Structure 1
Amino acid sequence: MAETAVKQEPTLALEDKIVLLCADNPKGINDDFIQKNEPDIEVQQRVAAINRLLTMGKIELLKSSNGLIYRLKCSSSASQVKGIDNQDRLVYQVIESAGSKGIWIRDIRHKCNLMLTEVNKILKNLEGKKLIKAVQSVAASKRKVYMLYNLEPDRSITGGAWYSGQDFESEFVEVLNQQCFKFLQQKEENAESETTLSPSLRHRSSYASLEEVLQFISDLGISKVKLQPEDIETILNTLIYDGKVEVFLAPSKNGIEKLYRSVRSFVDAADVTRAPCTVCPVFHKCLPGGVISPENCVYMTEWMEY
């Protein structure tokens, strides 16, 4: 009996994850989507979890142009809610179908074909019963979207790690920007100090993966929220645009991996956009020790004097 319980535990946990994936994707998900989000789950466990959800009536199997998809049964959970009438149940179903991205009151009105006063009354009733909640969207400060009470709002609604309520955390972004660049600089310096390695290996070890940068920032403990890889990638992209970091695509076990490395710039990144270097006909020769160097460039000298 104990052995059977151990085998069923990951299946039950997976069922909850599949339901959440369906809730976040109201149009439906397929097997490839589930496998991508839960790569460590075996095929047999995934099939068993899906079959159990289908039997319980929590999800439904539909045929689309891209094959079979699984979709959350909106009516199943709505029918289990007690203490609400048919109009309330209709509004609840519409909000439920919107998933974690929520739905605007105007769209609720159109889908339910109700007057604004009726919708407001129903929304107030559902909020009072803690069945739904209103979330302020960062994209439109005066717009509220409604979603089920137990759902975590999508990052497109909350703004992710860069927002606190409606306020953009510019200081937090700047701190992350500085710390990511500092880590890559230290990575490069450590690589150059490895005299036992060949030049090619030293150059390779000066690069850092996205996961390494994320781990470094997480270890610092400077973020109150859990940062995701896409958050750090956004910061690294700003460093790339500033000319402080370069990215290199390298083959890996999972396909192509992005590696990042700090760049030593002779001219401040902000000045490059104003300097004539971008249209200079001999820009490719402007190197330390080369035919032309930045300090004796005629174009740069004239520009500086100007």
Structure 2
Amino acid sequence: MATAAKEDPTKDEDITMGEPSGVSSPQELRNALYARCATFEENHVFDQNELLSFSILPENNVEKLIVHTNRLAKDGLFKLMTKDGKACWKVVKRSDAAKYRSLSQDEALVYSYIEAAQREGIWSKLLRNKTNLHMTTMNRAVKNLESKNYIKSIKTVKWPNRKTYMLAKLQPSEDVTGGPFYTDGILDEEFVHQMSLWAERYIIGRSWWHPPLPEPMKKKSKPKLTQEEAEELRARELRRGHGRARSEIMLPFPAGYNGYPILAEITRAINASELSGVVMKESEVGQLLDILCWDGRLEKVRNGKSYRAVRLVVGEEGVVLENGLTESPCGRCPVFDMCEEDGPVNARTCEYFQDWLQI
């Protein structure tokens, strides 16, 4: 791994080292070297041999290379590093170099450590330990950097009470923010609830057969409800469904049904619904589905690759009743009354029951 190294202050003068007349000036050589390195991807680290391979410096003189790279480092355009005990360099954007030149020594020191933290940010206590600055000095440097909009303070999900800093131009990583389920470091419970409810409703539609709704009655024959009757009907429906959009009748599909959705399908459906302002990842949707499975509202089928909604039997006052009969073939068997141990119809020889167990 490459680590930052201290530049050599003894070699930073514009000297030609005996170059013949007519050769480009030292500044032009440095500009050419910087321009060539800037064509590489960001964070690329150059060693001495790679810089010499560009054939920009006359005779590829190593001493001249060190002089020019040290001057570029002094100007903030190169960052001197060490890799495997050898010197190497990384290009710094001109805009970032201008920032460093506008900072005091303490501010530049603080900024460098915050910059190195990237999208993870750095805790203020750790920042103070690394810079070894007095608290008052560090706080003053941080305040000045914030006023210039170079850095910003962020909240982390793991340690919400810690002061953490990162570059103002960067967005925190999901490990810091907690992903789409958090807002300003606080769990958005309403968002989680709505996303879970939508996912469950989608899976319900793929898990059960719903009979066609009856034809709507003609307007003239439709009874008119009073205000009290309408409110009571609404309250009864809410108690019955627990807010879950279910039909009165939900019948299981036959054995061999393969329409239960997998995680990728559910994720695509959620993103297509535009319910969330951000694009959800499969890992994030998987977290929602895991919660629904733990709550007994979903279950994994087909070797854990697909999801099926669990039908809940709701009694009076919205109390959920446990009744596995509603999901097994027995719940809709036409000869259920004849089924008995050692009888002509029994669970041991029932082909439908065996198929159901293999789902």
TM (norm. structure 2) is 0.49
Q: CA deviation at 1:52?
A: 7.2
Within a 5 Å distance, the mapping from 1:1-306 to structure 2 comes to: 55=40, 58-60=43-45, 76=92, 79=97, 81=99, 82-189=101-208, 199-200=255-256, 203-205=257-259, 207-248=260-301, 258-265=305-312
Q: Which letter does structure 2 place at the counterpart of 1:59?
A: H
Q: CA deviation at 1:164?
A: 2.2
Residues of 2 paired with 1:169 and 1:291: CA distance? 52
Residues of 2 paired with 1:190 and 1:248: CA distance? 17
* SS class of match (1:204): coil
Q: Which letter does structure 2 place at the counterpart of 1:260?
A: Y
Q: CA deviation at 1:158?
A: 1.9
Residues of 1 paired with 2:167 and 2:130: CA distance? 17
On the 8 A contact 1:243/1:265 being kept in 2, the answer is no
Distance 1:97 1:190, change over 3 A: farther
CA displacement, residues 1-42 of structure 1 (integer Å, 9 cap, x when unaligned): xxxxxxxxxxxxxxxxxxxxxxxxx99xxxxxxxxxxxxxxx
Q: CA deviation at 1:204?
A: 1.5
TM (norm. structure 1) is 0.56
Q: CA deviation at 1:141?
A: 3.3
Residues of 2 paired with 1:75 and 1:87: CA distance? 22
The alignment of Structure 1 onto Structure 2 pairs a total of residues equal to 210
Residues of 1 paired with 2:192 and 2:340: CA distance? 40
On the 8 A contact 1:177/1:239 being kept in 2, the answer is yes
Q: Which letter does structure 2 place at the counterpart of 1:142?
A: N
Structure (1 or 2) with the larger CA radius of gyration: 2
Distance 1:57 1:244, change over 3 A: closer
Note the residue ranges of structure 2 that are not aligned, 5 or more in a row.
4-35, 48-83, 213-252, 342-359
CA displacement, residues 276-297 of structure 1 (integer Å, 9 cap, x when unaligned): x9xxxxxxx9x756879xxxxx
| Structure with greater contact order relative to length (CA < 8 Å, sep ≥ 6) | 2
Task: State percent identity of aligned pairs.
Answer: 26
Structure with bigger helix share is 1
On the 8 A contact 1:96/1:148 being kept in 2, the answer is yes
On the 8 A contact 1:133/1:149 being kept in 2, the answer is yes
Q: Which letter does structure 1 place at the counterpart of 2:202?
A: F
